[in-house]
Amino acid sequence: MVGSIIGTGVFALPSALAPYGPIALVAFVLVTVGALALAVTFGRLSERVPGSGGPYVYAREAFGEFAGFLTAWSYWITAWAGNAAIVVAWVGYVEVFVNKGHHTGASIAIALVGLWVPAIVNLTGVRNIGAFQVVTTVLKFLPLGFMATAGLLFVKAGNFGAFNASGGSAMGAISAAGAIALFSYIGLETASVAAGRVRDPRRNVPRATVYGTLACAAIYLLGTLAVFGAVPHDQLTSSSAPFTDALNNIAGGHWAGNLVAVAAIISGIGALNGWTMICAEMPMAAARDGLFPPVFAATRGRGEVPAFGIVSATVLASVLTVFSYTRFTKVFTEIVLLSVLTAVIPYLVSAAAQLYWLVQHGREQLDRRRLVKDVTVTLLALAFSYWSIQGSGYQTVYYGLFTVLLGIPAYIWVERPHHGAAAAADPAAVPGPAAETDPAEASPLP
């Protein structure tokens, strides 16, 4: 959970939020409340609907196969597009040591290494993924924990700049900053996605989801506040490694910032390692239900590694990364907004699935207090999801919706063989020519 949520996004986030000014911290608080509502909702869903697949399983159970497919499709896009965003932020910290001139060709080469090393680790099996994740999670927490505690002692009010630096309305700034900040919490559902590989999932998945999100929330809010107060606003808006700049300003020199850069590099590899697994787990669950191409369900080796899912997602992330470096001016922000939009759709559908169940069965299976609590939290998660879509911006919603709707032809292609097989097995289900039926036999009248 924590390894997938905390990647390099948080290490780059202060720079992405800086153009809005300290009002972005207000957005971050609101996003945190919404993220916790989603975490509790996913925890409740995982208790009720066990097994791998997360949002896909919940959507399919509540609304049928087509809703399940679109949810899986959207989340799959989120996973590999999110890897592209993580690796772009990761490159910024690698370039603290190499390619300090940020030459595009070298940046692309570094990014591709960052994408393919975790893919190779994933291809070796789930045990190695877990061990790698534990080590990188511990190492990434050290600098973040420092900034979230001791870093607060070095905050200077003059570094924050104008409260609303966006030039627009306060609500507009909060919505736009909130959409970016939500990227930090993408991954809060990963325990439910991989529930089939977890011991005692009914107990451990809800606990991991809620407690992991709380731990990340504390680190995020305090760490981002410390960076805003340690780096002058003008410097922060153009920084590619804001935590490094913050530590350098606090300690003087470059040694402290270099340590943070090393931690961010390790953190990014760890997050990419976890998300590469998620890229394969979701489509594998859908493929086993016949809602994704069968090749995604194929596994190899004793560890049942979904090799095609891992390789295909890494190839797509690589293509998006190369495209972004050559076409986008704000590479990280543009990919983040696309990833957030495609993630919010499964979040919204999952919250709707939980609300649907509460309305249909809540009174029968829950006491009044638990029912009121669950309905309130689920409605908050649903409202938060709608707000996040609104804050993503018109252009992002346009491209994101177009990408999601591309799944409809894919669904028709996947489902066509199943319907053909069903028709062949049950000829009576297929309408035949009415003219061939004898009217005397067809009618009960004389």
At residue 443 the predicted structure's pLDDT band, cuts being 50, 70 and 90, is very low
Provide the mean pLDDT of the chain.
Answer: 82
Please state, in angstroms and rounded to a whole number, the distance separating the CA atoms of residues 134 and 182.
24
- pTM, entire model: 0.78
Q: Does 194 have pLDDT greater than 80?
A: no
Token pair belonging to 345 = 């759709």
- The pLDDT value given to residue 34: 92
Q: At what angle do helices 307-327 and 255-288 cross, to 10 degrees?
A: 130
Alpha helix positions (H), 252-297: 255-288
Residue 406's φ and ψ, nearest 5 degrees, are -60, -15
110: nearest Cα among 256, 318, 257: 318
Average pLDDT value for residue range 180-186: 83
- The pLDDT value given to residue 244: 85
Please work out, in degrees rounded to the nearest 5, the angle formed at the alpha carbon of residue 119 by the alpha carbons of 85 and 141: 60
Flag the least confident range among 67-71, 215-219, 371-375, 392-396.
392-396
pLDDT one-digit tens code per residue, 382-401: 999 998 888 777 878 888 88
Please state, in angstroms and rounded to a whole number, the distance separating the CA atoms of residues 255 and 421.
65
SS3 305: strand
Contact 46, 201 (CB under 8 A): yes
Please state, in angstroms and rounded to a whole number, the distance separating the CA atoms of residues 36 and 182.
11
Give the CA count within 13 Å in the CB-facing half-sphere of 110. 24
- What share of the chain has pLDDT > 90, as a percent? 27
At residue 432 the predicted structure's pLDDT band, cuts being 50, 70 and 90, is very low
- What share of the chain has pLDDT > 70, as a percent? 87
Q: Does 305 have pLDDT greater than 80?
A: yes
140: nearest Cα among 272, 268, 243, 275: 268
Token pair belonging to 92 = 């910024």
- The pLDDT value given to residue 266: 82
At residue 7 the predicted structure's pLDDT band, cuts being 50, 70 and 90, is low
Bigger pLDDT: 338 vs 371: 371
- The pLDDT value given to residue 352: 96
Please state, in angstroms and rounded to a whole number, the distance separating the CA atoms of residues 317 and 305.
19
Q: Does 436 have pLDDT greater than 70?
A: no
- Within 10 angstroms of residue 232's Cβ, the number of other Cβ atoms is 14
- The pLDDT value given to residue 328: 52
Token pair belonging to 379 = 């409605």
Q: Does 22 have pLDDT greater than 60?
A: yes
